Amino acid sequence: CIAEELNLSKSDRIIDIGCGNAWTLVQLAKKGFRGLVGVDYAPSAIDLARAILKEHEIEVAQVELIVSDILDRTDGIFSQKFTLAHDKGTYDAISLNPDNSYERRMQYVANVPEILEENGYLVLSSCNWTEEELKQHFKD
């Protein structure tokens, strides 16, 4: 578990960016983590996440689900801070968008640190970028 490898407390706040079907949130909740937040810009994804959390009998108090766009700085999510931000596919999806993909990637790179605590972590899984390319994108 990512959070355990980073020695996070069960009460540390964790956000899943582009939570989709909530798989990561389910796994973290089952391990006893609280303060979990899942965000997705698609309301249908949040509806799916709610259904899956219910199916796994995850308490609503354990996981907050929010329709939110990480690219929109006016979004309420930016008033919160997290110890860990997890992304499995959202950065890739932004990168593959044919409309201003470079600008959108740079907006993502600028926005994610705004929701992280001072010594927070971003854990990003990508099938489109190498580790070295990702380090270049996020070097500043």
Q: How confident is the model over 92-135, as pLDDT tens digits? A: 999 998 888 889 999 999 999 999 999 999 999 999 999 999 99
Q: Does a structural domain hold residue 3?
A: no
Range 40-65 average pLDDT: 93
CB 14 within 8 A of CB 35: yes
Q: What is the CATH number of the domain that holds 122?
A: 3.40.50.150
Contact partners, residue 124, CB within 8 Å, separation at least 6: 86, 87, 88, 91, 134
Nearest to 31 by CA among 64, 3, 59: 3
Q: Is residue 140 part of a domain?
A: no
Instruction: Specify if 5 maps to a domain.
Output: no
Please tell me the distance from the alpha carbon of residue 116 to that of residue 95, in angstroms, as a whole number: 21
State the total domains in the chain.
Answer: 1
CA distance 90 to 59: 25
Is the per-residue pLDDT at 42 higher than 90?
Answer: yes
Alpha carbon 97 to its chain's center:
18
> Where in the sequence is the domain holding 118, given as residue range(s)?
11-71+80-132
pLDDT at 100: 83
CA distance to 18, 42, 72, 96, per residue, from 34 (Å): 18, 23, 26, 33
The answer to whether residue 4 sits within a structural domain is: no
- The answer to whether residue 35 is domain-embedded is yes
Q: What is the pLDDT of residue 98?
A: 83
Check residue 99 and give its pLDDT: 86
Contact 77, 51 (CB under 8 A): no
Residue 29 lies in a domain: yes
Residue 137 is assigned to a structural domain of this protein:
no
Tally of residues, the chain? 140
Q: Is residue 139 part of a domain?
A: no
